[in-house]
Structure 1
């Protein structure tokens, strides 16, 4: 949690923002910068991630990223991602939103749509059913998709990892990563009310200013509270 309790701004609702994109797109850095900017203004902010974010989901994270579930097929991986997401939503995200917290999450439902759905070749109906059960009405108010060529992102990920071995998804072929990039852009085009695409090839400070603006526009004006997507679904 990033916040100064002495100068918190009271929100009448929470705000749920997710960060999506390919490997090495800079999601984690931009989430941290946004959290710092919002906290400096007195907003209560919670940063989290997927897979993981809750005790149960973190246990599943190791199984997924280590590749231990890979021999059982993409369908099993999708089910494990959904189980982790459900625990994360109910134990962390929903309670925080009810308290009026701004929740920033590194990956969420769109990553499953892309990684298991598009490049995993799972049936859309199966992916949609898992998503509906896992999120249980908790839909992001804003999804920021960080876009850059897959080759650039993979090189960034390689440099970041240094001596660490690539995880289950980083080690896949460049063609697969480019297909994911296109899939994220397709999601943004299909849901322009929720999604915004950000050019992730630019300097971090330039990107951070744009990201802050995309979230600022969702903060309710004083005395004029708005319902979050989660509250609208209830």
Structure 2
């Protein structure tokens, strides 16, 4: 199989970091070592600064929903043009922690922004560029909130309400339904079971079998 762009998606507390590490380990087992790891927002010096603004804002100023959306796509285009596309052109594999599906789920589903606005930005920034495989980690928002509340400090996204994350999850589920390049993984299983699911999915995918 030629080099691919794999993305891991899910709401906060779904276990993306652990899944990210498991995917890298599984690819290494298959002799795939030319890997570039990215995260969104972030992944370039400019995108990392935007990440801080998106996640923490500026004291005394409210981050509007549209400003948040624009910053996310500014960070994404920097990462896409300066890291992801060059890596794929070199023959490297790219493993992403979030990509464009997040903006649809969070900004349209969660924030309630107009899908036409988001799609306009999406088409301008991405064109027809899409991941080759997306692994969506599905978890109920009440469980995700239980997990993130154990963290020492929450960013402005993690501080959102249960209703917000319910809207995000529901939109994710509507997006992944019927998309052959997106696989849903039950992230409410134990870490061991999640890794087994990832291993089965990736083994079949790498072998060219139907997922």
The residue correspondences of 1:175-214 to structure 2 (distance < 5 A) are 175-189=163-177, 191-214=178-201
Partner of 1:97: 88
Partner of 2:139: 148
Q: Deviation at 1:123? A: 1.1
Q: Confirm or deny: 8 A CA contact 1:117 1:127 kept in the other structure.
A: yes
Aligned length: 206
Cα deviation, 1:119-151, whole Å, max 9, x if unaligned, reads 211111110011122224321111111111101
Q: Deviation at 1:220? A: 6.5
Provide the C-alpha distance between the structure 1 equivalents of 2:204 and 2:131, rounded to a whole number of angstroms: 15
Where 2:112 maps in the other structure, the secondary structure is: coil
Provide the C-alpha distance between the structure 2 equivalents of 1:187 and 1:208, rounded to a whole number of angstroms: 23
Q: Deviation at 1:72? A: 4.0
Where 2:71 maps in the other structure, the secondary structure is: helix
The residue correspondences of 1:122-161 to structure 2 (distance < 5 A) are 122-159=113-150, 161=151
Cα distance, 1:198–1:220 mapped onto 2, change above 3 Å: closer
1:170 counterpart = 2:158: yes
- Pick aligned residue for 2:56 from 58, 66, 71: 66
Provide the C-alpha distance between the structure 1 equivalents of 2:50 and 2:129, rounded to a whole number of angstroms: 20
> Deviation above 6 Å: which 4+ runs of structure 1?
none
- Pick aligned residue for 1:41 from 7, 18, 30: 30
Partner of 2:109: 118
Provide the C-alpha distance between the structure 2 equivalents of 1:134 and 1:218, rounded to a whole number of angstroms: 28
Where 1:71 maps in the other structure, the secondary structure is: coil
Stretches of structure 2 lacking an aligned partner (at least 5 in a row)? none
The residue correspondences of 1:23-42 to structure 2 (distance < 5 A) are 23-42=12-31
Q: Confirm or deny: 8 A CA contact 1:14 1:99 kept in the other structure.
A: no
Cα deviation, 1:200-229, whole Å, max 9, x if unaligned, reads 0111122122223323334367xxxxxxxx
Cα deviation, 1:134-193, whole Å, max 9, x if unaligned, reads 22432111111111110111111122x2x22x111110111111111111111111x421
Stretches of structure 1 lacking an aligned partner (at least 5 in a row)? 1-10, 222-234
1:79 counterpart = 2:79: no
